[in-house]
Amino acid sequence: MGDNGLKILSLNVKGLNTPQKRRLLLRELKRSACHIAMIQETHFASSRQFSLRDRAFPVAYMASSPQKKKGVATLIHSSCPFKIHLQVSDPAGRYLMLVGQIASTTLTLFNIYAPNGYDPDFWTEISSLLTTKADGRVIFGGDFNAVPQPSLDRKASGDSSGTPSGYPQDASLESFMLDHSLVDAWRLHHPGDRDFTFFSNPHHSYSRIDLFLVSLSTMPLIPTSSIGDITWSDHAPIFMTLSIPSYTPAWSWRLNSSLLHKPEHILELQQQLRDYFLENYSPTLSPTTLWLAHKTVIRGHLIQLGSRLKKQKLASLVSLTKDLSKWETLNKLSPSDVLTARIKTIRTAIRQLLGEDAARSLAWSKRTYFE
């Protein structure tokens, strides 16, 4: 991603009512280096909303239903100067519309969790918002529970040709896209390709129901779009980069206190401190200077230690993700129970690795959850 690239993520998380899952999400967003995250199925009740904010994502906009179901949230990274002019939140938790500005670019972001079935009233409501409230470049992201091209975007077990006829909700989505001149960003970057964002265990079928739809005028500003792997959620994250001028991310160092939880790390740090003061002490050197300088040295050591541990963990995660991608590809081509079982085993290992990371992060996090 270039300096002027705004990375947008969309992910259906299937519920965020535990601190562990909320932390998993925030760690996932950090790893992805996204600037705007569109989240579906938060399952927050409108009467009891949880916090989805932290230092990296201090701003979160939500739309929740009265019950613990549905729900969408859009998170904005601290380095993203998105100034909101208008917010429209669906009281049923199906959509969230944000109109705002980044530098000189006006954007309308629609975060969508569409009904799982034929519901023309939903698309009529979205059409009304789009024609009366939207401004500038329009971006839809979310779980549409429908696909633009059934023959390419759906695949049942043992089916190599897709589902040409599709479902009624597929036809509704197609009509909505045609009526408002919206295009499927991933499909334009990957014409003819077959990839999927959701696997239905009961039906043993794949589908690409998680989408970014953009206005025709926006498409030239989108250099990349991609589909991630299904890991801790039952949906894959999808990504899109939007070229925005004058965008500059920010960064600052913060101590990772989990480095101090293992005895071997503490011993290593103590030895570094002893070596520093023995090697640098001098009667002519001001004690204040000696003390202030040691902070830089120790910070450098902690950065190196954190980097080393991160690389080790990343190597394990990359290896597991490669295996997952390989078996997922084979299963998409020719689904089988053996491949599905193997995929589940790898996903369990990935979730355990990510879960350990989330648990450590949650332990030292200063963010307050409403339990």
**Which pair of structure tokens corresponds to residue 312?**
């080790």
Same domain, 290 and 172: no
The pLDDT assigned to 97 comes to 99
Same domain, 178 and 274: no
The pLDDT assigned to 146 comes to 97
State which residues form the domain around 93.
5-243
**CATH number of the domain within which 161 lies:** 3.60.10.10
- 261 and 267 Cβ atoms separated by less than 8 Å: no
* 69-98 residue pLDDT tens: 999 999 999 999 999 999 999 999 999 999
The pLDDT assigned to 307 comes to 77
Whether the pLDDT of residue 165 is over 70: the answer is no
Mean pLDDT of the chain: 86
What number is the average pLDDT over the span 38-55?
A: 89
- Helix (H) / strand (E) containing 143: strand 137-143
The answer to whether residue 227 is domain-embedded is: yes
The domain tally of the chain equals 2
Whether the pLDDT of residue 1 is over 50: the answer is no
Pick the more confident residue, 121 or 204. 121
- Its sign, for the CA torsion 93, 39, 103, 179, is negative
> Which residues make up each annotated binding site?
12, 41, 143, 145, 234-235
- 251 and 174 Cβ atoms separated by less than 8 Å: no
Which range is least confidently modeled, 170-174, 210-214, 349-353?
349-353
The answer to whether residue 156 is domain-embedded is: yes
* Contacts with 313 (C-beta within 8 Å, 6 or more apart), sequence order: 353, 357
pTM confidence score: 0.73
The answer to whether residue 250 is domain-embedded is: no
> Of 197, 220, 243, which one is at a domain's C-terminal end?
243
The pLDDT assigned to 365 comes to 53
Choose among 228, 133, 199, 211: nearest CA to 173.
211
Q: Cα separation of 22 and 358, whole Å?
A: 9
- Helix (H) / strand (E) containing 84: strand 83-89
Same domain, 204 and 274: no
Choose among 154, 42, 164: nearest CA to 94.
42
Same domain, 225 and 340: no
* Active site (catalytic) residues: 113, 143, 235
Pick the more confident residue, 331 or 144. 144
Name the packing angle between helices 120-132 and 168-179 (round to 10°): 10
Same domain, 219 and 104: yes
> Of 208, 243, 278, which one is at a domain's C-terminal end?
243
Backbone angles phi, psi at 107, to 5 degrees: -125, 145
> Of 243, 276, 302, which one is at a domain's C-terminal end?
243
Pick the more confident residue, 159 or 175. 175
Same domain, 17 and 143: yes
* 276-334 residue pLDDT tens: 888 888 787 677 767 766 776 787 778 888 878 777 777 888 888 888 988 989 988 88
Whether the pLDDT of residue 2 is over 50: the answer is no
Same domain, 156 and 61: yes
Same domain, 210 and 270: no
> Which residues make up each annotated binding site for Mg(2+)?
12, 41, 143, 145, 234-235
Same domain, 333 and 301: yes
